[in-house]
């Protein structure tokens, strides 16, 4: 996945008595200045007060991104939350098996701290951007019992308890899912490693969701006590089959790991533009379903 600085929308809680608390509205619903200085970061404190807890609003950053002065300005003016676009992914953090390298991940975290921003971890498991030694000839048993737990522990423990949330698994649900699928069917529909072998053939590798459960169980063991643990995906948030599948997988994770719902989360990738976005009413419905469980929407 990739978040772009141009792909975001502004959220704020309006203080006017015309809007009954705790309504949260899009700035675009009510207009916004077309000239002058716009400092969204100054609004976020009020949003957090209205919400009753921290309101995280941010984008991606890597230390090697071009136009660093622009990046610094944006994160000083618009955002209060930073996520590494690539620096915390598996190819960057475990280049050889068993050897942890958190250099870039920690550098992004330091950038967040330097700009008084919080930091979100992305990600500990994804079928893409894997190191050269993966998938290799790793067996299903080795992957679930050793490889994933070791990697998740090294990364989450190494980054510390201040990380607000981790995308524990990323993009594991297929795009061709349909209503009523089981959690396993939702993930198998993706057709990627490790439910399939690395050559993209029809051979199954991991035949259940044990790799997902292993990642979340380990993350829960080593994350901070208030860190949210998320399943993250794209094309979600609307009232469609893929969003329903993400919720089904989330419930399966909870049932098989006993992680309390109030420690879990769903990341909705914000690949949005003025012509492509999830309708507000559908987002509200999806968020309400999660809130009923005690799960955070991100």
Reported as a pLDDT band with limits 50, 70 and 90, residue 31 is low
Region 183-197: mean pLDDT is: 95
Reported as a pLDDT band with limits 50, 70 and 90, residue 216 is very high
> How many Cβ atoms sit within 10 Å of the Cβ of residue 109?
24
Structure confidence at residue 200 (pLDDT): 64
Region 9-28: mean pLDDT is: 42
Query: Cα(first)–Cα(last) distance of the chain, in Å?
Result: 15
Residue, of 97 and 49, whose pLDDT is higher: 97
Residue, of 5 and 45, whose pLDDT is higher: 45
What is the Cα–Cα distance from 138 to 116, expressed in whole angstroms? 41
Give bridge partners of residue 229 from the DSSP assignment: 166, 264
Structure confidence at residue 261 (pLDDT): 98
Judged against a pLDDT cut of 80, whether residue 5 lies above it is answered with no
What is the Cα–Cα distance from 159 to 105, expressed in whole angstroms? 8
User: Do 115 and 72 meet the contact criterion of CB atoms below 8 Å apart?
Assistant: yes
* Secondary structure class of 226 (helix, strand, coil): coil
What is the Cα–Cα distance from 255 to 251, expressed in whole angstroms? 6
Judged against a pLDDT cut of 70, whether residue 21 lies above it is answered with no
Residue, of 130 and 272, whose pLDDT is higher: 130
Residue, of 276 and 79, whose pLDDT is higher: 79
């Amino acid at each position: 996945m990739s978040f772009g600085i141009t792909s975001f929308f502004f959220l704020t809680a309006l203080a006017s008595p015309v809007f009954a608390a705790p309504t949260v509205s899009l700035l675009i619903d009510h207009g916004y200045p077309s000239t002058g200085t716009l400092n969204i970061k100054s609004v976020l404190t009020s949003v957090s007060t209205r919400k009753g807890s921290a309101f995280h609003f941010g984008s991606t950053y890597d230390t090697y991104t071009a136009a660093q002065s622009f990046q610094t300005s944006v994160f000083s003016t618009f955002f209060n939350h930073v996520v590494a676009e690539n620096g915390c992914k598996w190819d960057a953090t475990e280049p050889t098996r068993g050897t942890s390298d958190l250099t870039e991940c920690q550098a992004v975290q330091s950038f967040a701290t330097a700009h008084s921003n919080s930091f979100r971890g992305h990600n500990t498991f994804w079928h893409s951007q894997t190191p050269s030694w993966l998938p290799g000839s790793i067996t299903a048993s080795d992957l679930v019992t050793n490889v994933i737990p070791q990697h998740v522990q090294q990364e989450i423990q190494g980054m510390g308890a201040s990380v607000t949330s981790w995308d524990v698994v990323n993009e594991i649900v297929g795009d061709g899912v349909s209503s009523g699928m089981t959690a396993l069917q939702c993930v198998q529909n993706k057709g990627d490693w490790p439910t399939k072998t690395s050559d993209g053939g029809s051979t199954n590798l991991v035949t259940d969701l044990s790799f997902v459960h292993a990642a979340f169980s380990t993350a829960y063991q080593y994350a901070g006590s208030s860190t949210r643990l998320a399943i993250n995906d794209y094309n979600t948030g609307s009232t469609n089959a893929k969003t329903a599948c993400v919720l089904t997988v989330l419930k399966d994770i909870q049932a098989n790991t006993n992680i309390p719902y109030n420690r879990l989360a769903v990341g909705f990738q914000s690949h949005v533009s003025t012509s492509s976005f999830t309708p507000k009413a559908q987002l509200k419905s999806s968020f309400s379903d999660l809130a009923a469980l005690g799960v955070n929407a991100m």
